[in-house]
Amino acid sequence: MGHVIAIDGPAGAGKSTIARLVAEKLSYTYIDTGAMYRAVALWAQRTQASPSDVHKLEQLAISAEIQLLFGSRVHLNGEDVTDAIRTPEISALASQVASIGAVRSAMVAKQRRIAENSNVVMEGRDIGSVVFPDARVKIFLDADPAERVRRRAGDLPDEQPATLAAQIAERDQRDRNRVESPLLQSPDATYLDSTGLTPQEVVEAILKIVRARI
């Protein structure tokens, strides 16, 4: 297996942006695990699968052909769904789907296969704690709630800040308290508060850690 840089943290902390930039700097493969769960959620919505239908969602997760392509494009079963998976509705559904143990098992298997022959930067909520507990570099990326809302507003300019704040708080509650692979900081992960830092400053901080450990 190649080198793995695991970046975990709550919604709106900037994980996707930072992980992508770090991967570019190191010429590693960037794996957006959140996009994988969103893709399954989109397929569930399109097939009218209930969030409570565990068996159906497991089958969708196992059979989903998800490709993460250059330029952060996401393909589901051969279709470009990059924009379709970024709506607030799919985001909320993805959080529900991700709480199902069987779905997570299917996604973890896919994520581990990707890393078998590649150096990867992988971000999510349980990468360092569950997916790759032996990763040599683990980062827990955080930011204060107001900063996280501001960043999410940049991605979703049509949403009201109060609505985004409520969505993030709900997502935090669900992610931190779910039975399967809850959001938590691994004991051996480096905590990094990105509040007030530019993406470049966060990337440099992570690269310093990488150079010391790999």
The pLDDT tens digits for 70-97 are: 778 999 999 999 999 999 899 889 989 9
* Cα dist from 39 to 120, 133, 172, whole Å: 20, 25, 20
* pLDDT higher than threshold 90 for residue 69: no
pTM: 0.84
DSSP 115: H
Question: Phi/psi zone of residue 181: left (φ > 0), alpha (ψ -120 to 50 degrees), beta?
Answer: left
**Residue-averaged pLDDT of the chain:** 93
Q: Which long-range contacts (CB under 8 A, 24 or more apart) does 79-87 make?
A: 81/39, 81/42, 84/42, 85/35, 85/38, 85/39, 85/41, 85/42, 86/38, 86/155
The helix (H) or strand (E) run that includes residue 76 is strand 73-76
Which domains are seen in the chain, by residue range?
4-213 (3.40.50.300)
Q: How far is it, in rounded angstroms, from Cα 46 to Cα 200?
A: 38
What six digits make up the tokens of 183?
């959001």
Q: How far is it, in rounded angstroms, from Cα 54 to Cα 57?
A: 5
Reported as a single tens digit per residue, the pLDDT across 101-120 is: 999 999 999 999 988 888 99
